[in-house]
Amino acid sequence: MNKLRRDEVSEELPIEDNEKELWERVAREEGFGRADSYIALARIAYNKGKFKESIAMCEIAREYFENNDASDRQHEILDVNIGISKNYEELNKSAEAAEALEKAVAAARVLEIETLDDLLRDQGRHWYSANEYEKSLACHQEAMEISGLHLKDSSAGVDYLNIGMTFKSLKRYPEAIEALRTAREIFKEAKDSSYIVTCDEELTEVYIALGNPVEIQYYAQRALDFYTLLQNHRHMWWLKYYIGIAHRLLGEDDEAIELFEDAKGLALAMGYQEWEFLIKVEKEMAEMFIVRGRVHEANEIFRRIKSVEDIVRSETVREAA
- Domain range list for the chain: 1-113, 114-184, 211-321
Q: Which architecture, in CATH terms, is 211-321?
A: Alpha Horseshoe (1.25)
> How many Å apart are CA 80 and CA 5, to the nearest integer?
9
- Is 1.25.40.10 the CATH number for 114-184? yes
The one-digit pLDDT tens for each residue of the chain (321 residues) are: 333 333 444 444 455 767 888 887 877 877 788 888 888 999 999 999 999 999 999 999 999 888 888 788 899 999 999 999 999 999 999 999 999 999 999 999 999 999 999 999 999 999 999 999 999 999 999 999 999 887 677 789 999 999 999 999 999 999 999 999 999 999 999 999 999 999 999 999 999 999 999 999 999 999 999 999 999 999 999 999 999 999 999 999 899 999 999 999 998 887 766 778 888 898 888 988 888 888 998 899 889 888 877 776 665 444 444
Residue range 1-113, CATH number: 1.25.40.10
All residues at 6 or more sequence positions from 107 whose CB lies less than 8 Å from its CB, including other chains: 74, 75, 77, 78, 81
pLDDT at 213: 98
Say whether 211-321 and 114-184 share the same fold. Answer: yes
Residue 8 near residue 22, CB atoms below 8 Å: yes
> How many Å apart are CA 48 and CA 229, to the nearest integer?
40
pLDDT at 228: 96
pLDDT at 14: 52
